[in-house]
Amino acid sequence: MTQFIDCLIIGGGQAGLAMSRSLLDAGIENVVLERGSIANRWRTARWPSLRLLTPGWMTRLPGQQLAGREEGFLRAGDLAARLQDYAAGQGLPVIEKIDVLALEKLGDRFRAVTSRGSWIARSVVVATGACDRPRIPSWGRDLSPSLYQIASTQYRGAEQLPQGGVLVVGASATGVQLGSEIAASGRKTILAAGSHVRSPRRYRGRDLFDWLDASGFLAEPNATGRSPAQLMAQPSMQLIGSDDNREIDLYSLARRGVIIAGHASGALGSVVGFADDLARSLGLGERRRQRMLSQIDAFIGSAGIDAPEDPAARQNTGLLMPMNGAIDLAGHGISTVLWATGYRRDYSWIHFDACDADGELRQEGGLCDTPGLYVLGLPFMRHRASSFIDGVGRDAEALAPVIAARLGASDTLQAA
Ligand SMILES: Cc1cc2nc3c(=O)[nH]c(=O)nc-3n(C[C@H](O)[C@H](O)[C@H](O)COP(=O)(O)OP(=O)(O)OC[C@H]3O[C@@H](n4cnc5c(N)ncnc54)[C@H](O)[C@@H]3O)c2cc1C
């Protein structure tokens, strides 16, 4: 069976839902196709102990009034339930358990071939997220089969890993959180750290995100001249959401027994090479932190806000004895390699020329160079918060009138 629609939205995460709501506001008939359930990745590709990095008030989506300013950090499952409620409460046209297997061009229209029939659409919004597949370095293939390899998307708790120690590769938010959890379970833990951003949980009396939001930092447009692949390779901030607002960084992990190494650069069997670059990565991570704090200080000064000084956040008295060189993991009792090395996109289901040489959609602020094709929810798409729950709504609201203008709000496909 073939169905017709003005705008087809592929993906029922926060981006797809925000887009649907914004298009309804603009009078555009749309449908959201989701291969699993609403908020599928928050339910199936995140670990059970995960709490959001962003405070509760940063879960605003278009048309949603939050009751008061919610502090604290939601669990992934709670967020999924909220997104489900949002879709129901806003009456969004979401169809679940329908997989878009292929998207084709059909003249100036699109045909989506799905696991349950086809859709013809005048416009399509790709809202499939930035986390289709774990990005695992190619040298992972050179690791001995005796080492158990697992991506962060599959990790469900330290108790489910084979006996023995764990090498965590990656030192952004995911790597430091999982390294901390695994070390706390009593296992020997090595963390291979590359590029990262050391970030305070709180600064000058408030949560970091309060300042980043109020100062306009999150709304800053992208630096120009960077390719989509470069923008998406930016490391996330080293942060954890917890009731005690604790800070997490490589120094605090080292104090808790985690062995910190330079970035893991290759392998042969059970021997992994760690680069002698930790001091450089730490230096860069520190500079990024200081830059961010200076920007917040400047905002506090210019806005005349009375906020206590926080000299401790500016200091770094930590010391690290990095591990580097070629290390035999088996000899160190390590049985698992956990990849926290980020994600890549998979647009293999788009059957026309829409991607660049890196496999990223060719787009500018969500407008692809194929007329009628749009994308939403990619990191740094329009600003720093484009992939955040709280930022995607702004992008959806900005794209909706563009899509509407192209379609002509009253000129539906069926009427045409
Ligand atoms: C570990 C982790 C923690 C994060 N923590 C935070 C946080 O604290 N705060 C914050 O603001 N952001 C956070 N983010 C970033 C961002 O909010 C999430 O990545 C979020 O899931 C992005 O939402 P999305 O709707 O863009 O994409 P997704 O949630 O990935 O949704 C895409 C949807 O598309 C569906 N789909 C994909 N392909 C198809 C297809 N072919 N056919 C049909 N359906 C398809 C998927 O099933 C999925 O449901 C985090 C990200 C990660 C990875």
Binned at pLDDT 50, 70 and 90, residue 412 comes out as very low
Kindly write down the DSSP assignment for every residue of 316-372, as one continuous string.
Answer: -------B-EEEETGGGTEEEEEE-S-EE---TTB-SS-B-TTS-B-EETTEESSTT
Rounded mean pLDDT of the chain?
93
Higher pLDDT, 224 or 136: 136
Rounded to an integer, the average pLDDT of 222-234 is 75
Using the predicted structure, report yes or no on whether residue 152 has a pLDDT greater than 90.
yes
Q: Whose CA is nearest to atom 3 of ligand 1?
A: 52
Q: Whose CA is nearest to atom 41 of ligand 1?
A: 100
Using the predicted structure, report yes or no on whether residue 352 has a pLDDT greater than 90.
yes
Question: What length is written for the chain?
Answer: 416
Any idea which residue has 């000084």 for tokens?
A: 309
| Rounded Cα gap, residues 155 and 29, in angstroms | 39
| d(CA 292, ligand 1 centre) in Å | 26
**Is any atom of ligand 1 closer than 6 Å to the C-beta of 15?**
yes
Written as six digits, the tokens of 327 are 């290390």
Q: Which atom of ligand 1 is nearest to the CA of 59?
A: 11
Closest CA to 17 of 83, 75, 74: 83
**Is any atom of ligand 1 closer than 6 Å to the C-beta of 53?**
yes
**Is any atom of ligand 1 closer than 6 Å to the C-beta of 178?**
no
| d(CA 132, ligand 1 centre) in Å | 9
**Is any atom of ligand 1 closer than 6 Å to the C-beta of 209?**
no
- Using most ligand atoms within 8 A of CB, pick from 389, 390, 392 the residue to mutate for ligand 1: 389
| d(CA 269, ligand 1 centre) in Å | 34
Q: Which atom of ligand 1 is nearest to the CA of 16?
A: 25
| Rounded Cα gap, residues 55 and 34, in angstroms | 27
| Rounded Cα gap, residues 125 and 207, in angstroms | 34
Closest CA to 153 of 260, 43, 239: 43
**Is any atom of ligand 1 closer than 6 Å to the C-beta of 349?**
yes
| d(CA 347, ligand 1 centre) in Å | 15
Q: How far is CA 295 from CA 237, 272, 302, 309, 371, in A?
A: 16, 39, 11, 14, 38
Using the predicted structure, report yes or no on whether residue 307 has a pLDDT greater than 50.
yes
Using the predicted structure, report yes or no on whether residue 39 has a pLDDT greater than 60.
yes
Rounded to an integer, the average pLDDT of 328-351 is 97
Closest CA to 93 of 15, 33, 151: 33
Binned at pLDDT 50, 70 and 90, residue 410 comes out as very low
Using the predicted structure, report yes or no on whether residue 219 has a pLDDT greater than 50.
yes
Rounded to an integer, the average pLDDT of 78-88 is 96
Q: Which helix or strand (DSSP H or E) is residue 7 part of?
A: strand 2-10
Share of the chain above pLDDT 90, in %: 88
Written as six digits, the tokens of 117 are 């029939």
- Using most ligand atoms within 8 A of CB, pick from 34, 375, 376 the residue to mutate for ligand 1: 34
| d(CA 185, ligand 1 centre) in Å | 28
Structural domains of the chain in order of their starting residue, each with its CATH number? 2-132+345-415 (3.50.50.60), 136-339 (3.50.50.60)
Binned at pLDDT 50, 70 and 90, residue 317 comes out as confident
Binned at pLDDT 50, 70 and 90, residue 67 comes out as low
Higher pLDDT, 415 or 297: 297
**Is any atom of ligand 1 closer than 6 Å to the C-beta of 57?**
no
| Rounded Cα gap, residues 214 and 402, in angstroms | 28
CB atoms within 10 A of CB 325: 13
Binned at pLDDT 50, 70 and 90, residue 235 comes out as confident
Kindly write down the DSSP assignment for every residue of 300-320, as one continuous string.
Answer: HHHHT------HHHH------
pLDDT tens digit sequence for 7-32: 999 999 999 999 999 999 999 999 99
Least confident of 92-96, 117-121, 247-251, 324-328: 324-328
Using the predicted structure, report yes or no on whether residue 349 has a pLDDT greater than 60.
yes
Q: Which helix or strand (DSSP H or E) is residue 5 part of?
A: strand 2-10
| d(CA 172, ligand 1 centre) in Å | 17
Least confident of 165-174, 187-196, 227-236: 227-236
Question: Residue 316's pLDDT is what?
Answer: 82
Higher pLDDT, 235 or 352: 352
**Is any atom of ligand 1 closer than 6 Å to the C-beta of 40?**
yes
Rounded to an integer, the average pLDDT of 51-61 is 95
Q: Whose CA is nearest to atom 9 of ligand 1?
A: 54
Q: Which helix or strand (DSSP H or E) is residue 206 part of?
A: strand 206-207
Backbone torsions φ then ψ of 386, nearest 5 degrees:
-60, -30
Q: How far is CA 225 from CA 158, 172, 219, 230, 401, in A?
A: 41, 24, 18, 10, 26
Any idea which residue has 């950090």 for tokens?
A: 73
pTM here?
A: 0.94
Question: Residue 404's pLDDT is what?
Answer: 96
pLDDT tens digit sequence for 199-211: 999 999 999 999 9
Could you give the residue ranges of the DSSP H alpha helices within 45-122? 76-89
**Is any atom of ligand 1 closer than 6 Å to the C-beta of 100?**
yes
| d(CA 207, ligand 1 centre) in Å | 24
